[in-house]
Amino acid sequence: MSGFPEAFLAHLGNGATTVCHCWRLTRKDGDVIGFTDHDRPVAADGTAFLPQTGFTASEARDTLGLASDAVDVEGAISSDVLRSEDIAFGRYDGARVETLLVNWREPDQFAIIRTGRIGRIRLEDGRFIAELESPKLDLDKPRGRYFRRGCDAELGDARCGVDLSAGGFNGSGTVSAKVTEDTIRVSGLGSFEAGWFSHGLLACTTGVSAGIIFRIIVHRLAGGEAELTLWCDTAPAPAAGDAFTVKAGCDKAFSTCKAKFANDLNFQGFPHLPGNDAAYGYATEEQIFDGSPLVP
């Protein structure tokens, strides 16, 4: 069944048409922004599509079969609509994008011709280029679980079961200084031992980074103050004066699950799997073969 209204089909069947492309971006936080390649604003399907960003798209094609199709969409960065800071902070990552074909003379005549989501997005010379991923890409994602020694649960989720709101597993503080591009010195975490928040999460609550969550790579102590090295990707690290909250981290090892969180019964890995050394090894007189577990 065609998704084109009959009146729109009749218009497309004429010798001359008045159509344009419109793109509707729906971010994960619910914000909706519309763009068009027409030279004037277009209002269709309850969304105002703006022209000033110079939105253009590469060739779009739909292939037979289950292979995923991709389309590049690019446009100029506008301080009123699209800010480079929002792109750098990942606020458009995973956004849903709908491509509409609209009769700009009769905006009630439109059809949604493609849907996708923003996969990779990059900045070049004052403009952005976003790769739109087809929904068929989900068919390529692994399903199920892997048999491996490390835990495959996220600390604090339903499978893990650790209550991160309990005392000792969370904290808060303020950025004192920026040591390097990805390392910050913070106050408020002096009572925690080094490494406690390694592999944890830092969520900014104030400043331009408010709402952004960073993965903590290393938590160390330097001169009585805590230093955190963050996985920043494209987003800059929080600035001095920014407030934040942190959650304890886990390196997915069975020993950590048992000693740090007393949660070994919920461990979602397979710590007794033999590794490469055991697989390629051979029996010797010094080894003990009493059936005891490899991991205490």
Per-residue model confidence as pLDDT tens for the chain (296 residues): 357 888 999 999 888 899 998 989 898 888 898 888 888 999 999 999 988 655 566 544 555 444 555 666 666 666 567 777 777 777 888 888 888 999 999 999 999 988 888 877 777 776 777 777 777 777 777 778 888 889 999 999 999 999 998 878 999 999 999 999 899 999 999 889 999 999 999 999 998 888 889 999 999 998 888 999 999 876 788 999 999 999 999 999 999 999 999 999 999 999 888 777 766 777 777 777 777 766 65
What does each C-alpha distance from 14 to 7, 11, 111, 293 come to in angstroms? Answer: 11, 5, 17, 77
Query: Could you give the domains of the chain?
Result: 6-61+68-139 (2.30.110), 170-247 (2.40.30)
Instruction: Show the tokens assigned to 59.
Output: 């060739």
Residue 29, Cβ density class (10 Å: 0-12 exposed, 13-18 middle, ≥19 buried): exposed
Query: Which residue in this structure is represented by tokens 């703006």?
Result: 50
pLDDT value at residue 64: 44
Instruction: Show the tokens assigned to 207.
Output: 């400043």
3-state secondary structure of 279: helix
pLDDT value at residue 45: 93
Query: Which of 159, 171, 185 minimizes the C-alpha distance to 240?
Result: 185
* Sequence-distant (≥ 6) Cβ neighbours of residue 267 within 8 angstroms: 151, 254, 257, 258
pLDDT value at residue 59: 45
Residue 81, Cβ density class (10 Å: 0-12 exposed, 13-18 middle, ≥19 buried): middle
The C-alpha angle 10, 11, 17, rounded to 5 degrees, equals: 155
pLDDT value at residue 1: 38
Cβ neighbour number for residue 112 with a 10 Å cutoff:
14
Pairing state between β 225-231 and 183-187: antiparallel
